[in-house]
Amino acid sequence: MIRIENVSLRHGKTQILHDISLTIAKGGITALVGPNGAGKSSLLSLIARLQPLQAGRITVDGFHVDATPNRDLARILAILRQDSIFTSRLRVRELVSFGRFPHGRGRLTPADYAIIDQSLQQFDLTDLADRFIETLSGGQRQRALVAMAFAQETDYLLLDEPLNNLDMYFARELMRSLRRIADENGKTIVIVLHDINQAGAHADRIVALKSGRIVADGAPCDLLTPKTLQAIFGFEMRVETVDDTPVVLHFR
Amino acid sequence: MSERRLLFLAGAALLCIVAFMTIGLRGNIGFVLALRATKLAALLQVSVSIAISTVIFQTVTNNRILTPSIMGLDALYLFGQMLLVFLLGGLGYAALDAQLKFGGEIVVLMALATGLLSPMLRRRAEMGLMLLAGIIFGILFRSLHSLLARLVDPNDFAVVQGASFANFNDVRTDLLAFASILTIAGIVIAWRARHVLDVIALGADTATGLGISWSRTVTGLLLLVSALVAVSTALVGPVAFFGLLVVALAERVVDTRSHAALMPAAVLTAVIILVGGQTLFQHALGSSSTLGVVIEFVGGLAFLVLLVFGSRK
Ligand SMILES: Nc1ncnc2c1ncn2[C@@H]1O[C@H](COP(=O)(O)OP(=O)(O)OP(=O)(O)O)[C@@H](O)[C@H]1O
Ligand SMILES: [Mg+2]
């Protein structure tokens, strides 16, 4: 369980998150949606202790994120950031191997190699495994990053816009893989999505953020209504239901 | 593949060492060999400390152009040394045990370097800013050094004056024993940290996500870098571009930034250049004292090339 209590964040004079409280139960996919600058990435990086907590408390599985040794946290929580930077001369397989670092501090066992191979295979990276990251296309690179987060094999997975740069096929594959590990392995996934229909089709719960506040929270079929969507994004859109899944027509 | 290239480097380094020890042996062979062995030990330590400190520093600062000496760390060491002379007076300083002095200087350098650099490394500062800060640090400490030099008694000044430029021919062999403890400790720590260094290279956020305590680890690595810089500066004096040259060459030879391969490669490259160069200059060119100048010249060229054409990103 991820428990966020009264978390606020400010950078200088601007208040970025206003007194956020949110509890995410163990197991399942929670989608974070909201306009640009709403504070989604900020909230995620606070949960993943990438920046210090200024006010409030966050616990993951009962561990306070700002008081638990980093090593221990890295075995229960993995994060994929929106803007990951790369060093040079790094091969895809090496990058994915880093996902195993929290478990063996760099020493890889046969079991680790098996997990790495499986992650590579899952994201169709086997043929690219020996390529340098800087020579990949944007989507291939994104897949490599997701594969690394997968290889970390943590119970909690925080993904900030993992569908960036992915084509329709791989976007669907990624969402299906997430669905599978949530259902079969009981993983807890928090994912920032801009594609509201992906959220509608695959998430168990959608939490909407706007200007640093939670403005809507609920199951996709309850939340994806023209009225709520207008409140979140500020414009009108049609919603149809296809095969019991709400589909938002926001293109025109 | 990088293993084969490492073996090749190791072979070449061994060849240089053998040549250094055996070419032109004359007279009292036992005496000459002992003399050469001492000097070799010093050159090896300098190679190790410069190569490792540069690799680690580049990884922590995430670029291929900065080195500890470009950031003014060796100037800082000389300043710390002069500060001790200033505070203790030349006689007091000269009377101190050489090992004790060296120990004190190292502690001063580690404290100053960590105090100055950690704030910048907390969040990785931008390269341009770091470079600028380094140049300013360098100038600042060199000027403070000469200011103190003018303030202290001329006799006191003579105590430290010997060591303000690199000289591979005239090494401080009296510090060898103490320095070798540091160098060996440095090798052990760096080797054990090789995987951590690979992760550090991914940047603060990714490394944190993988379980590294960024500030603590980076501070520890900086302390290690400072100790190694102190070793090489104490033994042969400041060298500006040697580390840059060595790491740039090693990286091209093994074609990876993986520290398990890059650190040994950089050390071996340094040994080849330093020991091989010393042999060459001593016997073929007849003027061993110019090696430092030549290395700095070539290293400076490498610096310019990397700066202008960009390192391979
Ligand atoms: N380091 C910072 N300094 C100042 N302001 C910041 C900083 N980081 C983020 N912000 C501001 O905080 C707000 C929230 O940013 P955040 O990255 O969390 O948004 P987001 O919801 O992830 O947006 P997007 O959908 O564009 O990724 C934005 O207004 C941003 O400008
Ligand atoms: Mg964001």
What are the tokens at A90? 């790094």
* Secondary structure (DSSP) of chain B: -HHHHHHHHHHHHHHHHHHHHHTT--SSHHHHHHHHHHHHHHHHHHHHHHHHHHHHHHHHHT-SS--TTTTTHHHHHHHHHHHHHHHHHHHHHHHS-HHHHHHHHHHHHHHHHHHHHHHHHHTT--HHHHHHHHHHHHHHHHHHHHHHHHHS-HHHHHHHHTTSS--SSS--GGGHHHHHHHHHHHHHHHHHTHHHHHHHTT-HHHHHHTT--HHHHHHHHHHHHHHHHHHHHHHH---SSHHHHHHHHHHHHH----HHHHHHHHHHHHHIIIIIHHHIIIIISS-GGGHHHHHHHHHHHHHHHHHHH----
| Distance from Cα A39 to the centre of ligand 1, integer Å | 6
Backbone region of residue B207 per phi and psi (left: phi > 0; alpha: psi in -120 to 50; beta: other values): alpha
| Average pLDDT of the segment spanning B130-151 | 80
A85 pLDDT higher than 70: no
B128 close to A (CB below 8 A): no
B298 pLDDT higher than 90: no
A64 pLDDT higher than 80: yes
How far, in Å, CA of B260 to CA of B23, rounded? 33
How far, in Å, CA of B112 to CA of B83, rounded? 12
pLDDT tier at B64 (50, 70, 90 boundaries)?
confident
| Average pLDDT of the segment spanning B239-267 | 89
Instruction: Count how many Cα atoms sit within 13 Å of the Cα of residue B312 in the half-sphere of its side chain.
Output: 14
Q: By CB neighbour count within 10 A (0-12 exposed, 13-18 middle, 19+ buried), where does B265 fall?
A: buried
A165 close to B (CB below 8 A): no
Q: Give the least confident one: A235-249, B78-92, B169-183.
A: B78-92
How far, in Å, CA of B220 to CA of B218, rounded? 5
Contacts of residues A174-178 at CB distance under 8 Å and 24 or more positions apart, as own/partner, are A174/A123, A174/A143, A174/A146, A175/A201, A175/A202, A176/A202, A177/A122, A177/A150, A178/A29, A178/A202
| Average pLDDT of the segment spanning B25-43 | 85
Q: How far apart are the first and last CA of chain B?
A: 21
Q: Give the least confident one: A5-19, A82-96, B249-263.
A: A82-96
User: What phi, psi does A75 have (nearest 5°)?
Assistant: -90, -10
How far, in Å, CA of B236 to CA of B258, rounded? 29
| Average pLDDT of the segment spanning B90-113 | 77
- The mean pLDDT value of chain A amounts to 91
What are the tokens at B43? 């050159």
pLDDT tier at B155 (50, 70, 90 boundaries)?
low
A134 close to B (CB below 8 A): yes
Query: Looking at beta carbons, which residues of chain B come within 8 Å of A98?
Result: 198-199, 202, 206, 210
pLDDT given for residue B165 in this prediction: 54
B127 close to A (CB below 8 A): no
What's the 3-state SS for chain A? CEEEEEEEEEECCEEEEEEEEEEECCCEEEEEECCCCCCHHHHHHHHCCCCCCCEEEEEECCEECCCCCHHHHCCCEEEECCCCCCCCCCEHHHHHHHHHHHHHCCCCCHHHHHHHHHHHHHCCCHHHCCCEHHHCCHHHHHHHHHHHHHHCCCCEEEEECCCCCCCHHHHHHHHHHHHHHHHHHCCEEEEECCCHHHHHHHCCEEEEEECCEEEEEECHHHHCCHHHHHHHHCCCCEEEEECCEEEEECCC
Q: To the nearest 10°, the Cα dihedral for A86, A88, A94, A97?
A: -30
What residue owns the CA closest to ligand 1's atom 25? A36
- What's the pTM value of the predicted model, to 2 decimals? 0.87
Q: Would you call B210 and A85 a contact, using CB atoms and an 8 Å cutoff?
A: no
Q: How far apart are the first and last CA of chain A?
A: 39
B313 pLDDT higher than 50: no
In chain A, what are the domain boundaries?
2-76+154-249, 87-153
In sequence order, the β-bridge partners of residue A246 are A241
* Interface residue of B123, B124, B210, B253 to substitute, partner A, most A CBs within 10 Å: B210
Closest partner residue to B205 (CB to CB) among A74, A81, A86 is A81
What are the tokens at B247? 């790491």
Domains, in order of start, for chain B: 2-309 (1.10.3470.10)
pLDDT tier at A104 (50, 70, 90 boundaries)?
confident
pLDDT in tens, A147-171: 999 999 999 999 999 998 889 998 9
Amino acid at A141: R
- The mean pLDDT value of chain B amounts to 82
pLDDT in tens, A199-227: 999 999 999 999 999 999 999 999 999 99
How far, in Å, CA of B22 to CA of B41, rounded? 15
Q: How far is CA A69 from the centre of its chain?
A: 22
How far, in Å, CA of A67 to CA of A245, rounded? 41
Q: Would you call A106 and B198 a contact, using CB atoms and an 8 Å cutoff?
A: yes
pLDDT given for residue B115 in this prediction: 79
* Interface residue of A45, A46, A50, A107 to substitute, partner B, most B CBs within 10 Å: A50
B140 pLDDT higher than 50: yes
Closest partner residue to A49 (CB to CB) among B208, B258, B313 is B208
A101 pLDDT higher than 90: yes
- Angle at the Cα of A228 (from A226 to A232), degrees rounded to 5? 110
pLDDT tier at B90 (50, 70, 90 boundaries)?
low
Closest partner residue to B210 (CB to CB) among A87, A90, A102 is A102
Write out residues with Cβ below 6 Å of ligand 1. A 11, 16, 34, 36-42, 82
| Average pLDDT of the segment spanning B105-113 | 81
- Other beta carbons within 10 angstroms of residue A251's beta carbon come to 6
pLDDT tier at B241 (50, 70, 90 boundaries)?
confident
Instruction: Count how many Cα atoms sit within 13 Å of the Cα of residue A101 in the half-sphere of its side chain.
Output: 30
**ipTM for the complex?**
0.88
How far, in Å, CA of B109 to CA of B226, rounded? 6
pLDDT given for residue B231 in this prediction: 86
Assigned fold of A2-76+154-249? Rossmann fold (3.40.50)
B80 pLDDT higher than 60: yes
pLDDT tier at B159 (50, 70, 90 boundaries)?
low
- Residue predicted with more confidence, B262 or B134: B262
* Interface residue of A73, A93, A101 to substitute, partner B, most B CBs within 10 Å: A101
Beta-carbon contacts of A109 under 8 Å, excluding residues fewer than 6 positions away, are none
Per-residue exposure over B22-60, b if at least 16 CB sit within 10 Å of its own CB, e if not: eeeeeeeeeeeeeeeeebbbbbbbbbbbbbbbbbbbbbb
Q: Which of B50-54, B89-93, B128-132 has the highest mean pLDDT?
A: B50-54
- Angle at the Cα of B16 (from B252 to B275), degrees rounded to 5? 80
- Other beta carbons within 10 angstroms of residue B239's beta carbon come to 26
Q: Give the least confident one: A173-187, B140-154, B204-218.
A: B140-154
| Average pLDDT of the segment spanning B184-197 | 95
Matching residue, tokens 């293109």: A251
